[in-house]
Amino acid sequence: MKFNTKTIHGGQENTDPAYGAVMPPIYQTSTYSQTTPGAHKGFEYSRSANPTRTALENSLASIENGKYGLAFGSGLAAIDAILKLFKPGDEIISTNDLYGGSYRLFTSIFKDFGIKFHFIGMENANDIENYINENTKLIWTETPTNPMMNIIDIEAVSKIAKKHKILLAVDNTFATAYLQQPLDLGADIVMHSATKYLGGHSDVVMGSVVVKDEELAEKLYFIQNASGAIAGPMDSFLVLRGIKTLHLRMKRHSENGRAVAEFLNSHPKVEKVYWPGFEDHPNHEIAKKQMKDFGGMVSFTTKENSMKDAVKFVENVKVFTLAESLGGVESLAGHPASMTHASIPKEEREKTGVVDSLIRLSVGIEDEEDLIGDLKQALRS
Ligand code: P1T
């Protein structure tokens, strides 16, 4: 099955054995009747499994070219479950440019449980080897990174991970399986904030994890059930519906993303635009190699280079909405330093370029002219 068919049918055989409903019903139930203890129709309690969630989990596994999908109550709950694979004394090497909430989870929760983190730039994959020792268990990457749009070479990192028998996890939130398939490039775990492009309509908070390896899947399933941060049936239905148009939306997000990046790049008030589609982006060739297109996320700074100016810009947009999050059909504008990345200490985030004047755009699927017109007027004011 090709990707554009998988988004609609992948893993969806027999999702409603009762009536043949084309969309899997929302099984809004916590429990399932049994005829004698242990005798049931495959479901016993909705923390362990729920048919609507299972339908979504099968779809997730299918679009990521994995075997096993797991849906969690949020992207951070998904990351939390992955990190519970490890124990005190283990070390994790993470990209230093990543979602602020992931950084907060690593440094404010798992560090206290005895896991050691190394945050490093991964634009040159070979740099990772300098941080590997016998305690290293996981390499954590995001690509493109949030919010600096750095590109990490998944295939190159996976070779290093395999050589040292370390797991490689890729947070695929910005690209989605439409643009990039980390498991095919050698990653062991692919994770999403499904809140974003997978859901696609800014109406649900969810996380997903997909793997190929059965033993790893069993460990993650055990954590999902034992810790309990599952996705609910209504939210599972919404994300499953979102995935059915993922290929159409991502194509359009990428077209509008390109138009916005090129417009900003030629604007006299704009200092620097971060978008991997530019030929002078440091890892443009890798982006071209591992992604189908460059997506709808664009970050930039203005020549004024001040916090005041950036804040004024995000206050003045009208078609774009000033809001946290990304990946919905509507365009959003954000100020990472005070919003999504406020939990990273200023000196740490500034090392990676998340300065006070940085603005991040999630370019939606509206008409390109309206989006550019809006950016023009906001830059003018
Ligand atoms: O918000 P949640 O569903 O828990 O997902 C966390 C998360 C994980 N990974 C990446 C790359 C993310 O961007 C996020 C959430 N990000 C935002 C809310 C944001 O505006 O960047």
Q: Is 249 a catalytic residue?
A: no
Nearest CA to ligand 1 atom 1: 75
CA distance 221 to 69: 9
Both 354 and 369 in one domain: the answer is: yes
Residue 90 pLDDT: 98
* CA 99 / ligand 1 centre spacing (Å): 6
Q: Which residue in 80, 97, 171, 188 is the catalytic one?
A: 171
Q: Is the pLDDT of residue 241 over 90?
A: yes
Nearest CA to ligand 1 atom 19: 325
Q: Is the pLDDT of residue 220 over 90?
A: yes
Using alpha carbons only, give the angle 216, 143, 183 rounded to the nearest 5 degrees: 35
Q: Is the pLDDT of residue 89 over 90?
A: yes
Q: Which residue in 196, 249, 349, 360 is the catalytic one?
A: 196
Residue 306 pLDDT: 85
Domain boundary among 243, 277, 297: 243
Both 23 and 104 in one domain: the answer is: yes
Both 75 and 221 in one domain: the answer is: yes
Instruction: Report phi then psi at 358, rounded to 5.
Output: -75, 135
Both 12 and 153 in one domain: the answer is: yes
Q: Is the pTM of this model over 0.95?
A: yes
* CA proximity to 117, closest of 83, 145, 147: 83
Residue 305 pLDDT: 80
Both 200 and 140 in one domain: the answer is: yes
Reported as a single tens digit per residue, the pLDDT across 115-142 is: 999 999 999 999 999 999 999 999 999 9
Q: Is 196 a catalytic residue?
A: yes
What is the number of the ligand 1 atom nearest to the C-alpha of 102? Answer: 8
Both 48 and 182 in one domain: the answer is: yes
Both 99 and 120 in one domain: the answer is: yes
Return the structure tokens found at 277.
């589609």
Pocket test for ligand 1, best of 195, 202, 235, 322 (most atoms within 8 A of CB): 195
Domain boundary among 243, 261, 292: 243
Domains: count for the chain: 2
**343 in contact with ligand 1, CB cutoff 6 A:** no
Both 373 and 321 in one domain: the answer is: yes
* CA proximity to 372, closest of 298, 263, 255: 263
Nearest CA to ligand 1 atom 16: 325
What is the number of the ligand 1 atom nearest to the C-alpha of 173? Answer: 11
Domain boundary among 205, 221, 243: 243
Domain interval for residue 361: 247-380
Residue 378 pLDDT: 97
Residue 364 pLDDT: 98
Both 47 and 192 in one domain: the answer is: yes
CATH number at residue 280: 3.90.1150.10
Q: Give the distance, in angstroms, between the CA of residue 70 and the centroid of all CA atoms in the same chain.
A: 14
Confidence at 18, pLDDT banded by 50, 70, 90: confident
Residue 199 pLDDT: 98
Q: Is 99 a catalytic residue?
A: yes
Residue 315 pLDDT: 96
Reported as a single tens digit per residue, the pLDDT across 259-311 is: 999 999 999 999 999 999 999 999 999 999 999 999 999 999 998 888 899 99
**75 in contact with ligand 1, CB cutoff 6 A:** yes
Q: Is 68 a catalytic residue?
A: no
Using alpha carbons only, give the angle 154, 159, 164 rounded to the nearest 5 degrees: 125
Both 293 and 235 in one domain: the answer is: no
Q: What is the mean pLDDT of residues 175-181?
A: 98
Both 251 and 211 in one domain: the answer is: no
CATH number at residue 115: 3.40.640.10
Contact 142, 148 (CB under 8 A): no
Reported as a single tens digit per residue, the pLDDT across 359-377 is: 999 999 999 999 999 999 9
Residue 304 pLDDT: 83
* CA proximity to 196, closest of 179, 173, 216: 173
Both 238 and 263 in one domain: the answer is: no
* CA 196 / ligand 1 centre spacing (Å): 8
Return the structure tokens found at 14.
């027999």
Residue 93 pLDDT: 98
